[in-house]
Amino acid sequence: MLGGGLAFAPSAFARTKRRDANSWALFADTHIAADVNQQVRETNMAANLKTVVDEVLQLPRRPAGAFVVGDCAWSKGDAGDYATLAGLVDPLRSGGIPIQLALGNHDNRENFWQALESGHKATRPLADHHVALVESSRVNWFMLDSLETTLQTPGNLGEEQLDWLRKTLDKHSRKPAVLLIHHNPGAKENIAGLKDTERLLEIIRPRRQVKAWFFGHTHHWSVTQDVSGIHLINLPPVAYIFKEGDPAGWIQASAVTNGMKLEFRCLNTGHKAHGQEVELDWRKG
């Protein structure tokens, strides 16, 4: 390399970093307000997002991409929230790390599309929902849109979106598939989560390529499995926690041959969850 890294501006230097095609940065519940000084529960959300973006950029190897798994915006998805969010994640984009944003119950789809996705209308897989398939060498990411009504807590995918998921999974049956949905699996008695959880499970349980479902929404970190062996990962919030003592932060996910390694990066590096590693083994099939 000519003259070493110091000769380069930070963003140009980031682009020269080696890329890890199997590593991903997973964020959820960023809750960015238009005003970067806005605080909720003694947490400055913009400062938290800036911290985690900087951490991703400082990794020795650049991840292949980043996701925000819903509740991108503070409360009701104002246009100004998305303008501020766009500025905060721009260092990732200019550092060569593509970022995909999913919608949650504190987002507004029209404002989001206008602020962040203008010009992409023709290429949207679905006209009414914000979904994406991100393919990589070891895993296919299916990002879904569970925003039903802004500011109403439960979520829903709906038949049209489930149909898209079914068809797209069937076209991509040979590689492990991982879902990203803002809402958590909702049992009948728990209507705060995803209302059509049972319909979703009917589709994904028999499609053995589906290995994991990552979600946010509860602002509480946990890793479990459903009866069919699908891993259920509740991502921590980048913003505020609901329960004192819970960790906030992000997850670095590394796809391996038959699974995924997760590393928790806490915002409070003194928290016992900081650096915690979880190995997910993919179910057979």
- Residues within the interface to Zn ion (CB under 5 A): 29, 71
Q: How far apart are the first and last CA of the chain?
A: 45
Looking at the Cβ atoms of 147 and 178, the one nearer to Zn ion is: 147
Count CA atoms closer than 13 A to 219's CA, side-chain side.
Answer: 16
Taking alpha carbons only, the member of 169, 101, 102, 103 closest to residue 140 is 169
**Coil, strand or helix at 26:** strand
Residue nearest to Zn ion (CB): 71
What tokens were used for 116? 């962040």
Shortest reach from residue 109's CB to Zn ion, in Å: 16
Shortest reach from residue 49's CB to Zn ion, in Å: 13
Q: Which residue is it, tokens 């926690």?
A: 241
Looking at the Cβ atoms of 239 and 280, the one nearer to Zn ion is: 239
Looking at the Cβ atoms of 176 and 247, the one nearer to Zn ion is: 247
Shortest reach from residue 69's CB to Zn ion, in Å: 10
Shortest reach from residue 184's CB to Zn ion, in Å: 11
Looking at the Cβ atoms of 69 and 177, the one nearer to Zn ion is: 69
Looking at the Cβ atoms of 71 and 196, the one nearer to Zn ion is: 71
Looking at the Cβ atoms of 71 and 145, the one nearer to Zn ion is: 71
Shortest reach from residue 71's CB to Zn ion, in Å: 3
What tokens were used for 9? 């501006």
What tokens were used for 138? 């070891």
d(CA 274, CA 234): 16
Q: Do residues 260 and 139 make contact, with C-beta atoms less than 8 angstroms apart?
A: yes
Taking alpha carbons only, the member of 187, 121, 183, 123 closest to residue 158 is 183
Shortest reach from residue 250's CB to Zn ion, in Å: 14
The residues, any chain, with a CB within 8 Å of residue 87's CB and separated by 6 or more, are: none
Q: Do residues 76 and 28 make contact, with C-beta atoms less than 8 angstroms apart?
A: no
Shortest reach from residue 188's CB to Zn ion, in Å: 22
∠ CA 22-202-280, nearest 5°, is: 30
Looking at the Cβ atoms of 182 and 211, the one nearer to Zn ion is: 182
